[in-house]
Structure 1
Amino acid sequence: MTCIPIVIPSLNPDEKLIALISRLMIHMGKVEQPIILVNDGSARKYDTIFSKIRTQFKVTVLQHDVNLGKGRAIKTAINYIMKHMPMAIGMITIDSDGQHTVDDMMKCTDKFLEKPKNLILGTRLFDNNVPFRSKFGNILTAKCTQMTIGVKVTDTQTGLRVIPKQYFDILLNMIGERFEFEMNMILEAATYGIEITEVPIKTIYIADNRSSHFRVIHDSISIYALFIKYIFGAIGSFLIDIVVFAVMMVLLSTVSTWAVFIAAIISRLTSSIANYYINKSIVFKNNNRLSFVNYYLLVVTQLIVSTLLVIFLQHYLAKLNVVIIKIAVDSLLFIISYQIQKNVVFKRG
């Protein structure tokens, strides 16, 4: 029989968790699927909820003594499955707050059985009935994900997923312990040859989604951490470029064309080396030996493309200031360069 355990990360749950497991148990009468509940350091006053579940249902309950985050809870479940359920072909994650139905879970499972090597996402429709906080956050994240890394996913924060077995080892070592882990799971999928399949599901928000433990500012920063570090790395390199250029102009003590040219070359070389090591060690954390060569091939290519595009656009958009054209072109190339560095230059094997 196909084994696909159901994993429920839970923090400070209410009776909706019991109702969810009850519905899952009714479903279990038809298909046997182990249920793994991860208590992610819930407060002591919620012990009665977990005691009821242990008493009433055949459920494996894993315990974190303190709150470690949803990402860590999923990793704990993956580790348990790998050790105790080697026949599992994947795992299902479902939220504990009643936002996902068993029918939708089965739709995702059926799709997974058709495509057992894919990461299946139960994606919600964000219409006018969705709370503004959730709607805005999801749409913004989806658009940023598509723009920055080229991954088009309708609902990047969905907790209803079916994860293939071949992704388990990778996820155990993936960066992210809280909500950013679910985002990283999507961002890194293509890197490891994991295709993503979306399955439309119902959009359910209870009491304006107040039960969500998503911290808008803190967790959003965590989700966008990689791109934020990339931006700050670029800013730091820009400042290095300016400082070195200024120092060189002082040392050369002239403003001749050759002095400006030499200062520009040295400053750009210095800043690009700094940017390479920032991206290699801090942003993408990759030790690929070819990354240095690939990085400078990208730098040269980007410089040539930028120059040609500015000349071309200046010819057809003569009324626009060339500086504005340069800013627009380099902004576009900045995002494209991020994708190339992440997926080619510093790609993890």
Structure 2
Amino acid sequence: MKKEPVFQKRFEDLNCCVIVPTYNNAQSLGSFLADLKLYTNRIIIINDGSTDDTSEILKSHLELHHIEHLENKGKGMALKTGFRSAEDLSYDYAITIDSDGQHYPDDLDVFLTELESRQPGDPEVLLVGDRNMGRDGIPGKSSTGNRFSNFWFLVVTGIELHDTQSGYRLYPVQLINSLKLITWKFELEIEVLVKAAWRKTEVKNIPIKVLYQEGERVSHFRPFWDIVRIVLLYMWFVLVSFFYIHPRNKYQDFKNKGFKKFWKEDIIKSQEPPHKKAAAIALGIFVGISPFWGLHTLLVFTLAAVFKLNKVIAFLFSNISIPPFIPIIIYASFQFGSLLTGKGFDWDLKLQNFDTGTDVFMGLWQYIMGSMALAIVMAISLWIVFYFLFSIFNQKQVVKP
């Protein structure tokens, strides 16, 4: 009697499957599938137009669900085919795993355990295997690219991950199929992460093992073109997140809670220490006064991510540059610039004084200098004020019975 796969019952209880996209991995595919079948037979294989012996190898695994692309379409398209097939087969979750031999099938346990720990009412979850890219033995180009992706993922979503490029993941099938995905190669895995996070999905890393054997492993990642596509994708996400997603989310939070509750829950009672909350306010004020009009939202979220400051607080205070205050900010900046250039305060400032191109250029330079100086002075001053205010408030919270 044939023994049931080790995790079969757990896969059935969770209504989960495994999706394996493969392209010209005949060297590792046979042994990989033999290992994978020890844990479950709920496997969907997408042969993405392989030209090696992949098709012959798959004939030895006819009990698994096969899908053939007649020509190579890219990993992203293979994954989309797998997700659609998983939904057609009524699966709720799918774990994707690469067929090049770098992933260990016994790590399926990590994903299943995390999914089993979910409680009713918890948000939907998307799990990404964390390969510990900083350890010895990981190729430098892989760890560098991963750090780049991790940073920009943090910027556009506010979620910190240590590994955004691992192909070993658990996806909620219906959610993924509801996303409008426009990419078709390796960058689709990043597109899915970002768009799922924007849908309020809990995106998190879980630790996995990884085997790197550069001499034996077949990789279809093309460093130049695939990186170019990833960079362009993040550029688009930066624009969308800074000018739509982040402001929309903060406005919705503010609208739903009201000013008093929003201030109390999102600012006063945030877990950051006083100096970091004050720094977030200072950053918002600095950006809001700075002369980079049209880029304030982009700057405040980027700098908040770089310095690991509270994005809500920084964004809220960057809105000092709203229409009623704009004339005051420009006037004060120009006066600061006049002072810095040795002219003193120009109380007789009039537009008629700018009657030549040189006057306009010098006036603009004076404004830019003054704007930066005013931004720095106001940021430092408000950091001091709010640092003491938050410190006093925290002390009252501690001694409160």
Q: TM-score, normalised by structure 2?
A: 0.55
Structure 2 CA distance, aligned partners of 1:219 and 1:58?
34
Q: C-alpha separation between the residues in 2 aligned to 1:67 and 1:303?
A: 57
Q: Quote the offset at 1:26 in angstroms.
A: 1.5
| Distance change (3 Å), C-alpha of 1:82 and 1:140 | same
State the 1:189 CA deviation.
1.5
Given the alignment, which residue of 90, 96, 101 partners 1:98?
101
Who is 1:211 aligned against?
A: 218
1:21 counterpart = 2:33: yes
1:230–1:62: structure 2 CA closer, same or farther, 3 Å change rule?
A: closer
The 5 Å alignment of 1:119-198 reads 119-126=126-133, 127-171=135-179, 173-198=180-205
Residue by residue, what CA displacement relative to the aligned partner does 1:221-259 show, whole Å, maximum 9, x if unpaired?
2223244347899xxxxxxxxxxxxxxxxxxxxxxxxxx
| One-letter identity of the residue aligned with 1:169 | N
CA displacement at 1:162 relative to structure 2: 0.6
Measure how far apart 1:105 and its partner are. 2.1
Residue aligned with 1:8, SS: strand
Change beyond 3 A, Cα 1:57–1:219: same
Residue 46 (structure 2) pairs with residue 41 (structure 1): no
Normalised TM-score (structure 1): 0.63
- The question of whether the paired residues in 2 share the 8 Å contact of 1:54 and 1:61 is answered with no
Bigger shift: 176-185 or 53-62?
53-62
Q: Matched residues in 1 for 2:213 and 2:93: separation?
A: 29
In structure 1, distance between residues paired with 2:216 and 2:152: 23
Instruction: State the secondary structure of the residue aligned to 2:137.
Output: coil
1:307-331 deviation digits (Å, cap 9, x = unpaired) = 59x96xx89xx89x9649849x8xx
Aligned to 2:390: none
How far does residue 191 in structure 1 lie from its aligned partner after superposition?
Answer: 1.8
Larger RCO (CA under 8 A, 6+ residues apart) = 1
Q: Aligned ranges for residues 54-65 of structure 1 at < 5 Å?
A: 54-56=59-61, 58-65=63-70
Shift in alpha-carbon separation, 1:192–1:50, aligned structure 2, 3 A: same
Q: Distance in 2 between matches of 1:209 and 1:24?
A: 19
Q: Does the alignment pair 1:4 with 2:16?
A: yes
1:166/1:52 CA distance change after superposition, 3 Å: closer
Take 2:64 and 2:95, find their aligned partners in 1: how far apart are those partners? 15
CA RMSD of aligned residues (A): 3.7
Q: Is the 8 A contact 1:14 1:49 kept in 2?
A: yes
**Unaligned stretches of 5+ in structure 2?**
1-11, 241-292, 295-317, 342-365, 376-401
Cα distance in 1 for partners of 2:212, 2:165 equals 14
Contact 1:41 1:68 in 2 (8 A): yes
CA distance in 2, matches of 1:149, 1:325: 30
Q: Partners of 2:168 and 2:131 in 1: how far apart?
A: 10
**Candidates 108, 113, 116, aligned match of 1:110:** 113
1:188 counterpart SS class: helix
Structure 1 residue 50: Cα displacement = 2.6
> 2 CA distance for matches of 1:326 and 1:16?
58
Rounded to whole Å, the distance in 2 between the matches of 1:115 and 1:304 is: 48
Structure 1: distance between partners of 2:103 and 2:58: 19
Paired residue for 1:220, among 227, 248, 254?
A: 227
Partner of 2:395: none
Structure showing greater radius of gyration is: 2
**CA positional deviation for 1:56:** 4.1
CA distance in 2, matches of 1:208, 1:302: 61
* CA shift digits 1:152-190 (9 cap, x unpaired): 11111110011013313224x312111111001111112
Q: Deviations over 1:286-339 (max 9, x none)?
A: xxxxxxxxxxx979649969959x96xx89xx89x9649849x8xxxxxxxxxx
Contact 1:131 1:208 survives alignment (8 Å): no
Quote the offset at 1:136 in angstroms: 0.9
**For residues 324 and 228 of structure 2, what CA distance do their matches in structure 1 show?**
31
Percentage identity across paired residues of the two chains: 25
- Seen in structure 2, the aligned counterparts of structure 1 residues 166 and 301 have a Cα distance that, compared at 3 Å, is farther
**Aligned AA (2:204):** T
Between 1:17-26 and 1:143-152, the stretch displaced more is 143-152
